[in-house]
Structure 1
Amino acid sequence: MFEAIMQVGLIIFSISLALCVWRALKGPTLWDRVVALDSFGLNLIGFIGIIMILQSTNAFAEVVLVLGILAFVSSVALAKFLERGVVIDRDSH
């Protein structure tokens, strides 16, 4: 029963990942694309987490940590870029 629930979870995550890719490609605004890419990263972390549970391994734990860090940093950088137009402020002192 537990494996069947995990398989259904993988199917739901797969559909969610496909919808995030579609929104990232088709999104009407740039903000929609940023949110879709952030959601894609979080869904991918959940997908890999379910695979780790099904395989009873910690082999992908580092991958999940790196994906989480990259998703956070990229979301912050894109939000800052969209708000100000630059990611790194260079003072002209």
Structure 2
Amino acid sequence: MTPMLDWALPLALLMLALAMGLCLVRLLRGPTAQDRVLALDCMALNGMLLMLVMGLLYASRTYFEAALLLALFSFVGTMAMAKFLLRGEVIE
């Protein structure tokens, strides 16, 4: 790794963890269900980015595959929750 990545990757991990913490606060305090769904989607996005940064830091392909799976499942979950909040049912 380059010297710039030696300090940039741990800093990115710290900032993403902080962003996940702030999303958790919004998830717990959100006044509406839409705020909570948005906070959960933001946490999934930050978790995916956290795994990608860890994959770069540890030079492992496993983290990239896990991030891809998390992105796929979070997209499906967000679409299901949005449909439920919009129509009141997921399966028509």
What is the distance in 2 between the residues matched to 1:55 and 1:26? 35
Which structure 1 residue ranges, 4+ long, deviate > 4 Å from structure 2?
none
Q: 2:20 aligns with which of 9, 17, 20?
A: 17
Q: Give structure 2 stretches of 5+ with no counterpart.
A: none
Q: 2:80 aligns with which of 67, 77, 80?
A: 77
Residue 36 of structure 1, CA deviation: 0.3
What is the distance in 1 between the residues matched to 2:27 and 2:63? 26
What is the distance in 2 between the residues matched to 1:86 and 1:70? 19
Residue 15 of structure 1, CA deviation: 0.3
Match of 1:2 in 2: 5
Match of 2:48 in 1: 45
More helix by percentage: 2
Q: Deviations over 1:11-60 (max 9, x none)?
A: 10010011111111110110000000000000000001000001011022
TM normalised by structure 1 equals 0.92
Q: Percent identical across equivalent pairs?
A: 36
What is the distance in 2 between the residues matched to 1:61 and 1:13? 16
Stretch deviating more after TM superposition (55-64 or 42-51): 55-64
- Report how many residues are paired: 89
Q: 1:65 aligns with which of 56, 65, 68?
A: 68
Q: Give structure 1 stretches of 5+ with no counterpart.
A: none
Which of structures 1 and 2 has the bigger CA Rg? 1
What is the distance in 2 between the residues matched to 1:42 and 1:16? 10
TM normalised by structure 2 equals 0.93
